[in-house]
Structure 1
Amino acid sequence: MTQPPVAFTPPIGVDGAPLLVLGPSLGTSTILWEDVVPALAAHYRVTAWDLPGHGGAKPATEPFTVGEVADAVAAGIGEFDGPALYAGVSFGGAVGLELLLRHPGLVSGAATVCSSPRFGDPANWTDRAAQVRTQGTGSLIVGAAQRWFAPGSIERRPVLAGRLLHSLRDADDASYALCCEALAQYDVTARLGEIEVPVLAVFGEHDEVSPEAHASTIAAGVRDGRTARIDGASHLAPAEFPDEVARALLDFFGGAR
């Protein structure tokens, strides 16, 4: 099987500094992180990547697992000078945990942002995959807006919120469905204790997809874990409160290097 297609942005930031890799949530793209990047790029070389069929990545043509996406990301990291630091949102956070499990030594510190060791009932993901295959990702926009953004977030940041919802609409339907089916199979809860590098589990105050309990499970399960709360945020904390997310990551990675 060929690796699922992902696409990296060119690194920006401080020459010779540690590489910091940023991962997306399902249905978004690298624009999720664009207001956080300037603060991070003042200290690191920063790159972000897109899921199959999202943003700049080619569509997927066959099924894959979250672990296999992590393998593709690991191959991309290998093109840069490593090891890397890593932060990912939701699906991207799941990829981060799989990176730590499947590629020990490649990542020296990781943050899961609004993410989980398991994303609920697998049937919900297979149902969503079926919906997208018949109705397209546009059928998800209303529900996504409700899950992604806390009350008032869209009104505070209407342009970015609109661009993120457009990224969902523009995602390749088949690739999105395959991502859903990958999440249906994903569960690393029992393996968290194998992760030795420092892990920060960031959660949004209003996030119902990956609530505080999920962040606490990650932090308690790994050997060196902690949590951080983003007040007022829901599931897309880097878009809703970029300054606060940047501060949490800089505080954490300053100790993880």
Structure 2
Amino acid sequence: MAFLKHNGRTVCYRLLGDSAKPLLMLAHPLGMTQAVWDDMLPALLNSFRVLTWDLPGHGASAAWPEASDQITPEDLAEEALTLATAAEAQRFHFAGTSIGGVIGQQLVSKHADRLLSATLTNTGAVIGTPDAWNTRSASVLGLGLSTMAVDIVPRWFGAAACEQQPALVEGWRVIMGRGDNRSYALLCEMLGRVDFREMLSEQRVPLRLVGGSDDVATPPDTLRALADVSGATEPVILEQVGHVPSLECPDKLTQILVNNLT
């Protein structure tokens, strides 16, 4: 684990593997941490140098500054680019889930020259509605993440994972509950503003989309709509998987990345 300063904030990251291999950056979902990628790392390191990091107010990264009352996709993309520069990678592969996929869309639309490819999972050009995200933001600020996690975390996982791995759900409730309320709320508000439908029509980055059949947050139709506006091929939909395939079926997601990027 390592740390760097970006725009006055401390960002926690891991840079693993052989510097001679191409860099693969992995961006985690909202409310989670870079630990979502842990089960995939041993296999990925056979082919890539891997960089993971914690988003603002998540894991060991510092909260969003009090002086700023808004987070934008470009803020998060710039953070990713700072990390890539720290890894001395002019170009890199990118994979992101949920809000991590939003960061990927920003990179694809505005920083395509830095990308070798993008694999976006469980995300969309538009995710949910502004009202729903603003309501969640207000609830988090009022109740706190530890309370909100009780209802939010089970929605991340498909029925099979919830039934077979109850400790997985409970563990991520604990992790989400330790996050920074304000940073999470600002990221919710950002997701309510996100709309990439007009920004991806001319993108030329090799793009792969992956989703879960049981994902209630970004269901398969959301991925198909993203494919339509971005020119990506038909999404790979993983059966009996919810919102976080890196936890529910790490071997399958690893194989998709290795097969498509090497």
TM-score of the pair, normalised by structure 2: 0.90
Inter-CA distance 3–231: structure 2 relative to 1 (3 Å threshold): farther
Equivalent in the alignment of 2:44? 40
Output aligned runs, 1:69-84, within 5 Å: 69-80=76-87, 81-84=89-92
Matched residue type, 1:189: R
Equivalent in the alignment of 1:67? 74
Inter-CA distance 64–6: structure 2 relative to 1 (3 Å threshold): farther
TM-superposed CA distance for 1:67, in Å, is: 2.3
TM-superposed CA distance for 1:216, in Å, is: 1.3
Matched residue type, 1:65: T
TM-superposed CA distance for 1:3, in Å, is: 4.8
Inter-CA distance 110–77: structure 2 relative to 1 (3 Å threshold): same
TM-score of the pair, normalised by structure 1: 0.92
Q: Which moved more, 1:172-181 or 1:152-161?
A: 152-161
Native 8 Å contact 2:122 2:219 kept in 1: yes
Equivalent in the alignment of 1:118? 126
SS of residue matched to 2:236 = strand
Determine the C-alpha separation between the residues in 2 that align with 1:70 and 1:6.
16
SS of residue matched to 1:193 = coil
Matched residue type, 1:42: N
Equivalent in the alignment of 2:206? 198
Determine the C-alpha separation between the residues in 1 that align with 2:28 and 2:107.
14
Match of 2:106 among 89, 98, 110: 98
What is the RMSD of the two structures over their aligned residues, measured on CA atoms? 1.8
Q: Which moved more, 1:56-65 or 1:22-31?
A: 56-65
Matched residue type, 2:48: Y
Instruction: Please list the CA deviations of residues 73-108 of structure 1 after superposition, one character each: whole Å capped at 9, or x if unmatched.
Output: 112212222311010010000100101112121111
TM-superposed CA distance for 1:29, in Å, is: 0.1
1:58 correspondence with 2:62: yes
Equivalent in the alignment of 2:152? 144
Match of 2:11 among 3, 7, 12: 7
Output aligned runs, 1:175-190, within 5 Å: 175-190=183-198
Determine the C-alpha separation between the residues in 1 that align with 2:233 and 2:101.
14
Equivalent in the alignment of 2:117? 109
Percent of pairs with identical residues:
27
Determine the C-alpha separation between the residues in 1 that align with 2:128 and 2:211.
16
Determine the C-alpha separation between the residues in 1 that align with 2:185 and 2:261.
33
Inter-CA distance 157–37: structure 2 relative to 1 (3 Å threshold): farther
TM-superposed CA distance for 1:211, in Å, is: 1.1
Native 8 Å contact 2:146 2:173 kept in 1: no
Output aligned runs, 1:235-250, within 5 Å: 235-250=243-258
Structure 2 unmatched ranges of 5 or more? 1-5
Match of 1:208 among 208, 216, 227: 216
Inter-CA distance 26–193: structure 2 relative to 1 (3 Å threshold): same
Determine the C-alpha separation between the residues in 2 that align with 1:56 and 1:38.
22
SS of residue matched to 2:96 = strand
TM-superposed CA distance for 1:71, in Å, is: 1.6
Inter-CA distance 95–205: structure 2 relative to 1 (3 Å threshold): same
Native 8 Å contact 2:96 2:103 kept in 1: yes
Instruction: Please list the CA deviations of residues 51-80 of structure 1 after superposition, one character each: whole Å capped at 9, or x if unmatched.
Output: 100012100022211222112211221222
Matched residue type, 2:42: P
Instruction: Please list the CA deviations of residues 107-126 of structure 1 after superposition, one character each: whole Å capped at 9, or x if unmatched.
Output: 11001111111111101111
TM-superposed CA distance for 1:160, in Å, is: 4.0
Determine the C-alpha separation between the residues in 1 that align with 2:21 and 2:168.
29
